[in-house]
Amino acid sequence: MNKHNYVAIMAGGIGSRFWPMSRTDMPKQFLDILNIGRTLIQSTYDRFIQFIPPENIYIVTSTQYLDIVKEQLPDLVEKNILCEPSRKNTAPCIAYISYKLHELDPNANLICAPADHLITEPQSFIDICKHALHFTSHIKALITLGIMPTNPNTGYGYIQYESLAAGENIYKVKLFTEKPDKELAKTFLASGDFLWNAGIFVWQVKNIIKAFEKNVPELHEVFDAEKQLFNTDDEQEMIDRIYPLCTNISIDYAVMEKAENVYVIPSSFGWSDLGTWTSAYETFEKDYLENAVSGNEVVIIDATKNMVQVPLNKLVVIQGLDDFIVVDTKDVLLICKKDKEQEIKDYVAEVKRNKGDKFL
């Protein structure tokens, strides 16, 4: 294993579109959503430990999840769990680990990946990551992994890339675009040069720091001014102090859409961001009526294409529902049309307005 290769697993989100299973005190990255015996963050760690030295694996999470991470990843040394005092989106999260590693190892080559993605072909994923790390170790490139689309999905951002390869299966990025409507997504799919934006990045830390300095100088100044405190006993106090000064912004907006040295690897490794219940539905085995059921005692009558997630030993009878999401927890029952799932965040906000934080 290359001692200069590192990974930062980003695990600070609350997964509100996976409510009511995903809660503020136990978000989806710490849940066994797919009933495989490993939580999403454990599965992510399992993939990276195969080709990244264990001492080079870092988790960036919220302070409130420190104990959960320690419990779920007991082999990880505690100093490699970086705690954000507040949620500031992906740019400050990535800046934190990048400036820290640069003080530790100026030649660090870093993968930044979310903790809650599903990858069903791990060896293909590992091979692509190794390919990206090799490229960035020689070229001043910021790489993002793009997923070859299989349908006109409106839940993902898209990446358009140049036709001429800059390396083996590596292309210059032409355009990042936001989540499209259905018709535009169909156009993207038909064009053949658009990929889903997976939010997985690879670069040398010195190059992402240069990109921060050029494109978001206010963020660069916050971290650069305190760089002498990284990897010291004063690091956490410093982070707690400077994080309120950080802009709340994604790495895509902050850097990737502005930088000139951005490249993409068209990839296929059985990926889903598991961002919604429908994305989970697509990964589950289904019965002959195309229902995806998680629960031992579910009886389905005249119902099709539903996503059903209920307690294992609770009897649930569903009749007459088509294309619904049914999620039952100890204190919340959600019944929602699948085509309305993008609005679950709005439903959660409505619950908060009417019921406070009790069910969040």
- Which tokens hold the place of 24? 């503020």
Looking at residues 142-153, what average pLDDT do you find?
93
What confidence tens digit (pLDDT) does each residue in 164-180 have? Answer: 998 899 999 999 998 88
Report in angstroms the alpha-carbon separations of 71 from 21, 22, 55, 78, 291: 19, 18, 17, 11, 34
Read off the DSSP letter of residue 255. Answer: I
Residue 16 is predicted with a pLDDT of: 80
- Overall fold of domain 5-272: Spore Coat Polysaccharide Biosynthesis Protein SpsA; Chain A (3.90.550)
In the chain, CATH 3.90.550.10 sits at 5-272
Residue 33 is predicted with a pLDDT of: 85
- Which tokens hold the place of 107? 């030649």
CA angle 85, 87, 91 (to 5 degrees): 110
* CB-based contacts of 98, cutoff 8 Å, min separation 6: 110, 205, 208, 209, 212
Residue 128 is predicted with a pLDDT of: 97
What confidence tens digit (pLDDT) does each residue in 95-114 have? Answer: 999 999 999 999 999 999 99
- Backbone φ, ψ for residue 147 (5° rounding): -95, 130
What confidence tens digit (pLDDT) does each residue in 224-276 have? Answer: 999 999 999 999 999 999 999 999 999 999 999 999 999 999 999 999 888 88
* CB-based contacts of 328, cutoff 8 Å, min separation 6: 309, 310, 311, 314, 316, 334
Looking at residues 131-156, what average pLDDT do you find?
93
Residues forming beta bridges with residue 82, ordered by sequence position: 60
From CA 341, how far away is CA 93, in angstroms rounded?
A: 27
Residue 44 is predicted with a pLDDT of: 97
39: pLDDT confidence band, cut at 50, 70 and 90? very high
